[in-house]
Amino acid sequence: MSSEVTTTPATLHGCLLGESRGQSVLFVPRQSYIATMKKLVDDGYEMCVDLTAVDFLTHNARNLPEGVAPERFEVVVNLLSLSKRERLRVRVQISESDPRIDSLFDLYPGTEAMEREVFDMFGISFTGHPDLTRILMPEDWQGHPLRKDYAQGRIPVQFKGAAS
Amino acid sequence: MTPRESDAVISAAAGTNEGNQELRSRSELTAKEVMREVGAVLRMSEADAALLAEVEADPGEDQTMIINMGPQHPSTHGVLRLMLELKGETVLRCKPIIGYLHTGMEKTGESLTFMQGGTNVTRMDYLSPLNSELVFSMATEKLLGIDGDIPERAVWIRMLLSELNRMSSHLLFMATNGMDIGAVSMMLYGWREREIVLRFFQKVTGLRMNHNFIRPGGVAADLPAGWRDDVMSILDMLPDRLGEYDVLMTNQPIWRERLQGVGVITQAEAIALGATGPILRSTGLAWDLRRDMPYMHYDQLEFDVIVGSYGDAFDRYAIRLNEIRESMRIVRQILDRVPSGDYRIQDKKVTPPPRARIDESMEALIHHFKIFTEGFKVPEGEVYVAIESPRGEVGCYIASDGSPTPYRMHVRAPSFVNVQALPHMMRGGLVADAVAVISSVDPVLGEVDR
């Protein structure tokens, strides 16, 4: 992402506006996440098409624009403006010690299942989510499979209800 | 963790349910929670939401019943489980419970090289595998920076296959939708027509489904001799058959009674819920990525975006039927334009040497071996690419750390998001209509659960 390093850092709503392969990326601090998203809704980004996360445990030294401190987790939100026919990606850094972020449910109800999936797979909890339960894994599953330190193929298969 | 954890322990002891994931009875919920759930919930004013919650004015526990539909129900299209709260025959609340087909494909994707990734994503939306492969390949190409260098022939072949796949997917919808509503003979016709398209895929890719044919850099092989005739025979056969569907279903009073006004969703709801594809278009919004954010060469083609006006199950049926016709129109235009030339990029980094070269050159053999064992390195970066699949926007988000495998590969599955619209569409409807509503959303559970 060397292309993200520009000479004059562009900003949008006080957040760093970067670019990755020609796509706009907005780096939003966790504190101003909801406030910024509200402004983006007013800007005409009517639809939140995707919300996911990345665990950068083994790749922490990634390229980020100056002023954005890398954290272990990153929540990635893809917004779409139907009227302007534009996309914008929002990336939020989430620390390992406090994996928590506000829920977008009140702004984009469609993120309900996506946030549950991120909670299920990464163990990031969403404050204000109406029903933060596991969605893909069984309710009593231990661990969060898409974390990089989740031992892949080295854990005993967990069966529901079986004596362990 | 949650205050409900104790409930989970109790229900786990009972042994038959999923605890917290389930639809809970009203007595366990606060009024606000019920409101959120029944609205599940939309950008509407508090007053509107309150009105919604009052429609059935908390009928009381003894008048309602929570039942399971699925995961083994034939009309849930796989293993979708719905918990319905019923009052008599009316559905008051509904909660889709998913995950029964979860196989950790996004995790698997992290250990497969970009070369192998196609075999993984193609199994997500198994009814339109070529579209999944296409979006994965396009994302990889964008990361590699070769998205502008794909040979023309490869691009047109991709478009041809993508449109044919849209037809086969919608034909299957015609079949399953017919069966769900009770037009059982329709199931045979839909499968029959789809099979003809799949036979063409088999000729081209070697497989009926899960092709892994569209790969980063182009397509796996050139089209076989006589492909034009095969496509033409599909195009000649279909219009009459689609006409028969019209006679059998579209104009038939029973069919219309079963679908019209069933599972209505408004435009604002669809946008708020992130629903795309035929669901969004059924509300009257002409949004199709092929036209509105064109990729490949769709901007050079002439086609219409089909929209509905009522947002009901009938509109969604009619949209899909007519999208088959539009896809046929597109395929006809593609037939005239497929140029000759390479079918994959001549970039030594991405493309293995041709089979014949391996016999005569040691270097070619090594090169071939390296590409297939180690894969090619993709520069660090992250990218999101989206295209229009038969079910809506299918997107692929890849974060690369510079190695031959994606650091994180996420597929934005349209069905996963669209399934959230079910509680809205079902609210206040009859149980019998629930089947029609699920069918009209056309979820593919392989993609929902990934």
ipTM of the shown complex: 0.88
pTM greater than 0.90 (yes/no): no
Size of interface A-B (CB pairs under 8 A): 133
Residue pair B287/A82 in contact (Cβ under 8 Å)? The answer is yes
Enumerate the β-bridge partners of residue B389.
B392
Whether residue B387 is predicted with pLDDT greater than 80 in this model: the reply is yes
For chain A, what's the residue count?
A: 164
CB contact under 8 A, A136 and B102: yes
Interval B74-94 mean pLDDT: 82
Residues of chain A found within 8 Å of residue B18, distances taken between Cβ atoms? 138-139
Minimal CA–CA distance to A56: which of B399, B111, B154?
B399
pLDDT in tens, B116-142: 899 999 999 889 999 999 999 999 999
pLDDT in tens, B46-80: 445 555 555 454 566 677 888 888 777 776 677 88
Confidence of residue B2 (pLDDT cuts 50, 70, 90): very low
Provide the 3-class DSSP secondary structure of residue B293.
coil
Cα–Cα distance measured from residue A9 to residue A17, given in angstroms and rounded to the nearest whole number: 7
Residue pair B387/B394 in contact (Cβ under 8 Å)? The answer is yes
> What is the pLDDT at residue B184?
87
CB contact under 8 A, A161 and B15: yes
Work out the mean pLDDT of chain B and round it to a whole number: 85
Q: In chain B, what is the straight-line distance between the N-terminal and C-terminal CA atoms, in Å?
A: 26
As a whole-number percent, the residues of chain A with pLDDT over 90 amount to 32
Confidence of residue B282 (pLDDT cuts 50, 70, 90): very high
Whether residue A6 is predicted with pLDDT greater than 70 in this model: the reply is no
Confidence of residue A154 (pLDDT cuts 50, 70, 90): low
Minimal CA–CA distance to A33: which of A121, A120, A97, A115?
A115
> What is the pLDDT at residue A8?
64
Cβ-in-10-Å burial (0-12, 13-18, 19+) of A15 comes to buried
Whether residue B271 is predicted with pLDDT greater than 50 in this model: the reply is yes
DSSP string of B174-200? HHHHHHHHT-HHHHHHHHHHHHHHHHH
Residues of chain B found within 8 Å of residue A48, distances taken between Cβ atoms? 274
Evaluate the CA torsion angle B425, B429, B435, B440 in order and state its sign: negative
Contacts of B370 (CB under 8 A, 6+ apart): none
Residues of chain A found within 8 Å of residue B102, distances taken between Cβ atoms? 136-137
> What is the pLDDT at residue B396?
94
Residues of chain A found within 8 Å of residue B447, distances taken between Cβ atoms? none
Closest CA of chain A from B378, distance in Å: 12
| The dihedral formed by the CA atoms of B395, B399, B400 and B404, expressed in degrees to the nearest 10 | -50
Is the preceding peptide bond at B71 cis, omega within 30 degrees of 0? yes
| The dihedral formed by the CA atoms of B12, B16, B21 and B26, expressed in degrees to the nearest 10 | -100
A87 part of contact set with chain B, CB < 8 Å: yes
Closest CA of chain B from A49, distance in Å: 6
Minimal CA–CA distance to A67: which of A6, A16, A13, A129?
A16
Residues of chain A found within 8 Å of residue B274, distances taken between Cβ atoms? 47-49, 108, 110-111
DSSP string of B349-400? TTSPPPHHHHHH-HHHHHHHHHHHHT-----SEEEEEEEEETTEEEEEEEEE
pLDDT in tens, A59-103: 887 888 888 888 889 999 999 999 989 999 999 999 989 899 999
Confidence of residue B6 (pLDDT cuts 50, 70, 90): very low
Between vectors from CA B268 to CA A79 and to CA A105, what angle results, nearest 5°? 55
Cα–Cα distance measured from residue B331 to residue B155, given in angstroms and rounded to the nearest whole number: 13
Query: Helices (DSSP H) in A5-45: which residue ranges?
Result: 33-42
Tokens 């009105």 appear where? Answer: B51
B41 part of contact set with chain A, CB < 8 Å: yes
Point out the least confidently predicted range of A57-61, A73-77, B215-219, B301-305. A57-61
Q: Does residue A27 or residue B76 have the better pLDDT?
A: A27
Integer angstrom CA distances of residue B292 from A82, B99, B170, B298: 9, 33, 21, 10
Confidence of residue B23 (pLDDT cuts 50, 70, 90): confident
B299 part of contact set with chain A, CB < 8 Å: no
Whether residue B36 is predicted with pLDDT greater than 70 in this model: the reply is no
pLDDT in tens, B315-358: 999 999 999 999 999 999 999 999 998 888 888 888 888 888 88
> What is the pLDDT at residue B371?
87
A149 part of contact set with chain B, CB < 8 Å: no
Enumerate the β-bridge partners of residue B84.
B67, B94
CB contact under 8 A, B106 and A76: no
CB contact under 8 A, A140 and B12: yes
Q: Helix B227-245 and helix B152-181: axis angle, to 10°?
A: 30
CB contact under 8 A, A134 and B20: yes
Cα–Cα distance measured from residue A147 to residue B29, given in angstroms and rounded to the nearest whole number: 32
Whether residue B154 is predicted with pLDDT greater than 70 in this model: the reply is yes
Pair of tokens at residue B10: 């109790």
Whether residue B172 is predicted with pLDDT greater than 50 in this model: the reply is yes
> What is the pLDDT at residue B182?
84
C-beta atoms surrounding A153 within 10 Å: 6
> What is the pLDDT at residue B19?
61
B75 part of contact set with chain A, CB < 8 Å: no
Enumerate the β-bridge partners of residue A126.
A101
Contacts of B241 (CB under 8 A, 6+ apart): B189, B193
Whether residue B426 is predicted with pLDDT greater than 60 in this model: the reply is yes
Pair of tokens at residue B67: 């039942």
At B261, give phi and psi (nearest 5°): 75, 5
Residue pair A6/B231 in contact (Cβ under 8 Å)? The answer is no
Pair of tokens at residue B103: 């196989």
Best mutation target among A25, A48, A49, A152 (most B Cβ atoms within 10 Å) is A49
Confidence of residue B143 (pLDDT cuts 50, 70, 90): very high
Q: Of A46, A107, A112, which is closest to B40 when you measure between CB atoms?
A: A112
Residues of chain B found within 8 Å of residue A138, distances taken between Cβ atoms? 18, 99
Residues of chain A found within 8 Å of residue B293, distances taken between Cβ atoms? 85, 87
Provide the 3-class DSSP secondary structure of residue B142.
helix
Residue pair B82/B97 in contact (Cβ under 8 Å)? The answer is yes
At A130, give phi and psi (nearest 5°): -70, -25
Best mutation target among A26, A58, A59, A142 (most B Cβ atoms within 10 Å) is A59
Tokens 């083609």 appear where? Answer: B301
Q: Of B276, B287, B380, which is closest to A63 when you measure between CB atoms?
A: B380
Cβ-in-10-Å burial (0-12, 13-18, 19+) of B357 comes to middle
What residues of chain A, 9 to 28, have a C-beta less than 8 Å from chain B? 20-23, 25
pLDDT in tens, A126-152: 988 888 888 888 888 888 889 888 877
What residues of chain A, 94 to 123, have a C-beta less than 8 Å from chain B? 107-114, 117, 121
